[in-house]
Homo-oligomer: A and B are copies of this chain.
Amino acid sequence: MPEELKLHISKRFNRDLATLVSQLLQMGGTVELQLKSALDGLLNGEVGLVQQAKELEEKVDQFDLILGEACAQMLVLRQPAASDLRMTLAINKCVSDLERMGDEAHKIARVALPLMEDGQSLTGFVEVRHIGQHVMQMLHDVLHAFSRQDISLALHVKSRDEQVDIEYRSAMRTLMTFMMEEPQTISRIMNVIWVLRSLERIGDHACNIAEQIVYMVQGRDIRHASKEEVAKLLNQLNLSEP
């Protein structure tokens, strides 16, 4: 094959891959907006925002379908190898995680309405705001890490998930104590618990994306790596960076 043609194919391939990445980041931005709308709507009692979060679900699903098809097309038409293949496969997995994050944001929006109708009893909202901010930052950072192929940032996101889990368990204990003391609040508190559970899951999905970034860049599968192995990897990266 003449060099020129090779170059042409490679350029076209890179353009297609760049389009995929750009669409994935757009999908990520949509999920970010959906989550932010659901949380802000809930915490500030703004029905319009909650409604927006619900409506964005359809857009996220559209991205899911389009990107699923685009990844398959990429594999069959371009037959990528090595790091390009890993990137295509990683995008394919990240799409699923983003779609599930969108589902969780939609669930938050769904319970937000009955919670808002229950009026101004704000038990659990401090925890929702706190964990919500934490998880939104994780989502933001992991998308940034993806766009920059930054494994160091990706690993930081992964290590932060543990903190979210600790906060989640602590919030759960507080809410359970509250339910025991005031049983008439149980159905309301259960809705707050579902919101926290969704946030905790969104954190898990951010972690999954972080793992895919490491796979994409280094070809290393750290999905079932221990905390120590991840810390060691992060340490090596920090040492090798200027």
The 7 closest A-B pairs by CB, nearest first: A183-B183, A61-B224, A79-B79, A180-B183, A180-B186, A76-B85, A76-B81
Q: Is A184 an interface residue (CB 8 A)?
A: yes
Bound form: Cα–Cα A37–B155 in Å: 34
Q: Is A230 an interface residue (CB 8 A)?
A: no
Q: Which residues of B contact A118 (CB under 8 A)?
A: none
State which of A65-73, A123-131, A144-152 sits at the interface with chain B: A65-73
Q: Which residues of B contact A190 (CB under 8 A)?
A: 176
Instruction: Give the interface size bracket for A toward B.
Output: 20 to 34
Contact A65 B223 (CB under 8 A): yes
Q: Is A64 an interface residue (CB 8 A)?
A: yes
Bound form: Cα–Cα A125–B184 in Å: 24
In the complex, the count of this chain's copies comes to 2
Q: Is A15 an interface residue (CB 8 A)?
A: no
6 CB-based A-B contacts, threshold 8 Å:
A71-B89, A75-B85, A76-B81, A180-B184, A183-B186, A197-B197
Q: Which residues of B contact A224 (CB under 8 A)?
A: 61, 64-65
Q: Which residue of B lies closest to A82 (CB)?
A: B76
Q: Which residues of B contact A92 (CB under 8 A)?
A: 89, 92
Q: Is A221 an interface residue (CB 8 A)?
A: yes
Bound form: Cα–Cα A223–B85 in Å: 24
Q: Is A179 an interface residue (CB 8 A)?
A: yes
Bound form: Cα–Cα A77–B168 in Å: 44
Bound form: Cα–Cα A61–B226 in Å: 12
Bound form: Cα–Cα A184–B82 in Å: 58
Q: Is A187 an interface residue (CB 8 A)?
A: yes
Least Cβ distance of A66 to chain B in Å? 10
Q: Is A96 an interface residue (CB 8 A)?
A: yes
Contact A221 B69 (CB under 8 A): yes
Least Cβ distance of A220 to chain B in Å? 11
**A89: which of B61, B75, B176, B184 is its contact (CB, 8 Å)?**
B75
